[in-house]
A and B are shown apart, each in its own frame.
Chain A
């Protein structure tokens, strides 16, 4: 087969060179030459684009306001927030709003003080500013609970815990994929 290639090129080389040169001769410089067209892929009547219908289009992964499988917040942060908040009974969980509200929780170490958490997961990106925690504290005075403000230090610690847990989950998923 290779002998035939070389024979063919020798016999028709001059003709080919002449043919190609005639297409590129300077006298034709007034005519614009373009790259020979590549075969066009058929366009889908449904999507209007070539390549058919992709299942990933239904997942809408590329929409910035929608996370994987319709979750509008970052899935890693959401899972991490649930894990961290799980030490306190949950009162309300809004998956699509990205908010977690716990019930009032009394610690056995300090029964005169109780704590309530509100956690917000913002956006679909895994960013340090995509989680916000508010902590509300109340102190017992007699038989009544009185608001004693917010514990910002505890809120920042909880945010760090959620971000750390999210990183752990991401590392675990990456190692699962590469195995």
Chain B
């Protein structure tokens, strides 16, 4: 009995002696959603499981390994993002697929990034630019005096994707209550401004394509009521390279039932398509 006590105590003591700098966390969400549009009603769901491991090294660098699995009852599970991130005084380097690029993450000023869901594709009225999930390597600078820059590049050059070998960049500047950003790829560029004023959050963005008549602009206004309900109105206009115009107007609301459980809704018209979307989203 005594030997067992000593052995287990020594084992516990040995394990407790080793410093544990790494931390592993699991997070994710599940969303059950209902969509009604001109073609009928649809019920669906989707979910994510994220695993993150963070280790702070003694040399001041922080290493993060991240993987995100996307799943749903009507779709197979796939890896949505997987990367290694290195943080230091020099900024952040991300190696791998983060399901986004710097131009699509450092763009808080676009109206379309401030609505509830952007459930329906905005088409040519979309002000978003960037190589998105095709980025293989990314860099984000530290914020100096409110200014931050980021770069992403698709290292693949096999000509099997429109973004092969392409890159994007973003510059973001925060000054007082205003955040501005500029993003660009080889072909497109956008600009956005976001500010909070008297409880309202206003975001406006614009996009243009080189050598083309394609352009888009949007504006979103968000307000949170005293009862916690967040209301958002989005208006977007766009012109395609062929001159076809698209107009989008949406209105959305979000309410946190309990911390971690949200009831979201959005309705609007994009082009000629009307839609209504309601969802319950649970995060863990």
Contact = CB atoms under 8 A, between A and B. Distances in A.
Contact of A53 (B25, B176, B195, B201): B25
Interface residues of B, number: 58
Interface in A12-37: 12, 16, 19-20, 23-24, 28, 31-37
Interface in B107-134: 108
Contact of B15 (A23, A39, A68, A176): A68
Given A23-B178, A54-B25, A177 B18 contact: yes
A32 to B, nearest CB: 6
Given A44-B260, A45-B259, A53-B25, A177 B197 contact: no
A45 B260 contact: yes
A169 interface: yes
Nearest to A34: B196
B246 to A, nearest CB: 23
B194 interface: yes
A46 B52 CA distance: 17
Contacts, number: 160
Contact of A36 (B12, B20, B194, B260): B194
A52 B26 contact: yes
Contact of A45 (B177, B184, B201, B261): B261
Nearest to A54: B25
Nearest to A51: B25
B195 to A, nearest CB: 5
Given A36-B108, A69-B12, A75-B12, A90 B17 contact: no
B162 interface: no
B283 A35 contact: no
B226 to A, nearest CB: 16
B193 interface: yes
Contacts of B261: 45
Contact of B169 (A1, A31, A76): A1
B64 interface: no
A51 B259 CA distance: 13
Nearest to A61: B20
Interface centre among B16, B19, B27 (most CB of A within 10 A): B16
A140 interface: no
B6 interface: yes
Interface centre among A36, A43, A78, A169 (most CB of B within 10 A): A36
A177 B56 CA distance: 12
B186 A1 contact: yes
B260 A90 contact: no
B180 interface: yes
Contact of B195 (A9, A33, A56): A33
A76 B12 CA distance: 10
Interface in A82-141: 82, 90-91, 93, 95
B193 A42 contact: no
A39 B108 contact: yes
Given A42-B260, A43-B260, A75-B12, A32 B198 contact: yes
B81 to A, nearest CB: 15
B15 to A, nearest CB: 6
Interface in B155-189: 167, 169, 171, 174-180, 182, 184, 186, 189
6 contacts: A5-B171, A20-B180, A24-B176, A36-B177, A51-B25, A75-B15
Interface of B: 2, 5-6, 8-10, 12-21, 23-29, 50, 52, 58, 108, 167, 169, 171, 174-180, 182, 184, 186, 189, 191, 193-198, 201, 210, 256, 258-261, 282-284
Interface of A: 1, 4-5, 8-9, 12, 16, 19-20, 23-24, 28, 31-37, 39, 42-46, 48, 51-56, 59, 61, 67-71, 75-76, 78-79, 82, 90-91, 93, 95, 169-170, 172-174, 176-178
